[in-house]
Amino acid sequence: MKVKNICCIGAGYVGGPTMAIIAQKSPEIRVTVVDINEKRIAAWNDPDVEKIPIYEPGLSEVVAEARGRNLFFSTDVDAAIDAADMIFISVNTPTKTYGIGKGMAADLKYIELCARQIARVATSDKIIVEKSTLPVRTAEALKNILDNTGNGVNFQILSNPEFLAEGTAVADLQMPDRVLIGGDLDTEAGKAAVQALVDVYGHWVTADNILTTNVWSSELSKLTANAFLAQRVSSINAMSELCEKTGADVNEVAKAIGMDSRIGPKFLKASVGFGGSCFQKDILNLVYIAKSFGLQEVADYWEQVIIMNDHQKRRFAENIVRTLYNTVSGKKIAMLGWAFKKDTNDTRESAAIYVADYLLNERAEVVVYDPKVTKEQILADLDYLGSRSEAENRELITVVDTAYAATREAHAVAILTEWDAFVALDWDHIYKAMLKPAFLFDGRRLLDKEALQAKGFEFYAIGS
């Protein structure tokens, strides 16, 4: 089967960039990204391509090249479904906040809604591609819904998990380590569906980098990959606390063990904690799956990765309070960075949210600057936690347009995102404008400790 028309349901962090690259690399395929969020689709269609809703280096250029040629963004979901040969499902799968599996299991209500809408609208055979992060055996549930519509349409279900890192998503898509495609390899129809997706990626990905498996292996591989990566972050963060107590430097420890070819240097940078849309959600999902099979020790092992990450965020905030004479009430704390990592405007599970929440509970006056995150998003993140009323959040937190405005007359500065621009700041100017003593807390190991201490800062960094 040769795919001529692709529909992607969901115009978020995965769907938008992925479809933009597919459209760029496959100009003969019509790619339509649909979403019921009219504001989001309007942003993707903004004539000023720099205003698209997702910030990723290089993404606006890709969208500018393909949009209007063979890349389209629409709210007409039914029309796009009906016209498509292949449908990617790329909707949100948050952790459940209610019922069985609360706090761990993935909430699949949006996936089910997509399946039922496809079943209702489709008038021709379709290939359905799971792109959202999903628990094992979700494809089976999708197939049960789609195969019982009674309208004679045949569906093939594929799993094609994303392995994107925010900040490098375009490069990750253009030069992937691997593309993983899971399908029914025991039937001719299943093999044909897998090959159809292989051919789409084959426009720019070599055959050696496209891995085909059964559906279940593909689904579990995504959870496992994120669990392994998050485990490394929590492991080095656990050592960072020990380094602080013993006088070792966590950067030196990380360099020493990272030079072991069996370990390698990646994901060994100590920090205030990992964030993003996948790590915590996927590990909790893995914990829930293990518990559902009675594998308590397996569940406990992976849950400890989350426990360590939460501890790292909490102790960073506690260190600020303890260092500022055990009270931050009425004190101005400047937070530089709100996105969970540099080169993205994604704030999901950002450590900054939880550090700010802790400081606000201590009645600090928090002032935030992030070069890509809006005031509306920062307030929405805090409101979602529900620790205070919306009115209290707006009274206690201020969002400003420059790092210098944030740090002026501040008692302390905390770096929460490793934006390159923060290294280039005039720290002499910042020091002079702060209240004395001037405290600086580097949660991302971004700055030169000795150089900042020489300027007069009381400097504290994770793991040293």
Q: Are 197 and 22 spatial neighbours (Cβ–Cβ below 8 Å)?
A: no
DSSP H helices, 397-459, are 403-407, 420-423, 427-433, 449-455
Q: Which among 25, 96, 131, 222 is annotated as catalytic?
A: 222
Q: Which among 25, 56, 126, 162 is annotated as catalytic?
A: 162
Q: What are the DSSP E strand ranges found in 357-454?
A: 365-369, 397-399, 412-415, 439-442
**Dihedral sign, Cα of residue 3, residue 6, residue 8, residue 12:** positive
**140 belongs to the catalytic site:** no
Distance CA 140, CA 12 (A): 24
Distance CA 198, CA 127 (A): 13
Q: Are 347 and 375 spatial neighbours (Cβ–Cβ below 8 Å)?
A: no
Q: Which among 25, 244, 278, 418 is annotated as catalytic?
A: 278
**437 preceded by a cis bond (ω within 30 of 0):** yes
Which position has the token pair 């549930």?
A: 141
Residues forming beta bridges with residue 417, ordered by sequence position = none
**243 belongs to the catalytic site:** no
Angle between helical axes of 215-246 and 250-258 (0-180°, round to 10): 130
Task: State whether residue 182 is helix, strand or coil.
Answer: strand
Distance CA 63, CA 45 (A): 10
**222 belongs to the catalytic site:** yes
Cite the active site residues. 162, 222, 278
